[in-house]
């Protein structure tokens, strides 16, 4: 299985992806936990450029192309080798994030984004996508609190965007989930970490039994 976690800033997807990976590993599954942008040495260098707030002048098209480049390298170095080895791969963000942020948030052409995603992934589509959904104000509040307690480089370029931008991103995610209900599972991310983990555990168990 190839499981992806998606959602706006501060929705808790990274925490839940890690908890799920730990749980499945404890149950005997061979699991690879990774993230985008990044997940591999070259892709991590691109990540540093993309998320650095000093790069606020980056154009939307440059941003889109950098995401595609990082994704291509990430799949080559990390995701495909793990899947080919029979591992269960959990990825914190994937192609749906590009459509949500650069498509719905930045307003770039959706057809172009689909073409780039297809080129970068070779047509790889997640088995299951868990969309962590919460109000924008809640998510941003969490994200900003996390950043304020971070030492060293702060990945905060997107957190500095307007509320209107983040609302467009959230709407884009929900639209994608509505268009592909067989792949997406939408989880209310406004609860406690334990409550959310329980919901995700039920979703994963149902998918594993189905397979």
Q: Using one digit for the tens of pLDDT, what is the confidence trace for 159-192?
A: 778 889 999 999 999 999 999 999 999 999 988 9
Q: Using one digit for the tens of pLDDT, what is the confidence trace for 119-135?
A: 999 999 999 999 999 99
Report, in this order, helix, strand and coil percent for the chain, each rounded to 5: 60, 15, 25
- Going by C-alpha positions, the residue among 15, 6, 16 that lies closest to residue 202 is 16
User: pTM for the complete prediction?
Assistant: 0.91
What is the 3-class SS of 102-151, one letter each residue? HHHHCCCCHHHHHHHHHHHHCCCCCCEEEEEECCHHHHHHHHHHHHHCCC
Going by pLDDT thresholds of 50, 70 and 90, the confidence category of residue 43 is very high
Which domains, from first to last, does the chain contain? 2-210 (3.40.50.300)
Mean pLDDT in residue range 68-82: 98
Distance of CA 184 to the CA centre of its chain: 13
- Mean pLDDT across the chain: 92
Mean pLDDT in residue range 25-53: 96
**The pLDDT value given to residue 9:** 87
């Amino acid at each position: 299985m190839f499981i992806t976690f998606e959602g706006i800033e501060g929705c808790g997807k990274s925490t839940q992806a890690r908890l799920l990976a730990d749980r499945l590993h404890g149950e005997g599954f061979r699991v690879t936990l990774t993230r985008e942008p990044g997940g591999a040495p070259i892709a991590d260098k691109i990540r540093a450029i993309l998320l650095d707030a000093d790069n606020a002048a980056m154009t939307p098209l440059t941003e889109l192309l950098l995401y595609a480049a990082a994704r291509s390298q990430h799949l080559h170095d990390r995701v495909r080798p793990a899947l080919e080895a029979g591992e269960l791969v959990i990825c914190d963000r994937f192609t749906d994030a590009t459509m949500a942020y650069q498509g719905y948030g930045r307003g770039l052409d959706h057809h172009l984004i689909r073409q780039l995603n297809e080129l970068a992934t070779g047509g790889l589509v997640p088995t299951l996508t868990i969309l962590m959904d919460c109000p924008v104000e809640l998510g941003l509040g969490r994200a900003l609190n996390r950043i304020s307690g971070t030492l060293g480089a702060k990945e905060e370029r997107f957190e500095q965007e307007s509320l209107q931008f983040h609302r467009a991103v959230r709407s884009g995610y929900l639209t994608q989930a509505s268009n592909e209900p067989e792949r997406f599972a939408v989880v209310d991310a406004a609860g406690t970490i334990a409550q959310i983990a329980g919901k995700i555990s039920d979703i994963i168990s149902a998918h594993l039994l189905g397979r």
